[in-house]
Structure 1
Amino acid sequence: AETFATDNSPEDMAAYIAASFNLRQQMAELADPASTFLIAEVGGVAAGYAKLHAGEPLEGVEGANPVELVRLYASREWLGRGVGQALMCACVDEARQAGHRTIWLGVWERNGRAQAFYRKWNFRAVGKHMFQLGSDPQTDILMERAV
């Protein structure tokens, strides 16, 4: 929530968090064999996490045998300190070991910092799709890269 709270209404953020991060939803995601979660720790404290999900990609994703990078977040105090880099490296390694040849993701069109990060990792834009944040339909840029 800390990543997007300043750019979205409190009501839309609350609706998204209630739908996406409630206990039942989190338990279902953790139990899903198609999902892999990676946790970055610094000094024994969680500093960020990533989620990969193997499944049908959105239209526009072109690469072979894709896996989605659903989430990659570093806590605010760890931004720019290597946590995102470490998580991305682990995601690429995990995808490769699982036999995937492509990683794809959706990134909010207004999140320039994340887009720059993904471009550094050789992701390229391949399309757009709508992402619903509460009552606000937002445009995500679809990006992919070879593993």
Structure 2
Amino acid sequence: MKDSYEQRIQNQFGAFCVKVLKNEARHIQREYARLRDQEKSLGELTASELEQTAVWDRHFMDEHVFDVQGLPVVVNGNILADALAQLPKGKRDVILLSYFLDMTDREISEKLNIVHQTVSKRRRATLKELREYLVKEGFEWPDE
């Protein structure tokens, strides 16, 4: 008697589980159908809709690389890169090595094969030229 009671409970539970799973499967199928109705393939999108899905990475857009004696020096900012590009190579190299690669005057003089005092003089004169160029281009200094 006990075995038939347990068997009946097992059968009822099994029927209940089957019903729950069928209902859930129906629910999932309806949800997928609803999502399919809302979806569009990329080929169906208009140019305007397609553009809305795009992400434009602008991270490296204003990054410029200068070569100084085989060393790549990265400069961020179009205005500054343009100003540096206007300089003669010798002056530009001193500025790039000094401010972008943190080299000392002695290291710069050895790298460029020039006299140590020349590095300091070039840097001062070049910074003045850069400032004048940037002011002429309309750059506003944060401390002014």
Range of TM-score over shorter length: under 0.3
The structure that is helix-richer by fraction is 2
The answer to which structure, 1 or 2, has the higher relative contact order (CA under 8 A, 6+ apart) is 1
TM-score in terms of structure 1 length: 0.24
The structure that is strand-richer by fraction is 1
TM-score in terms of structure 2 length: 0.24
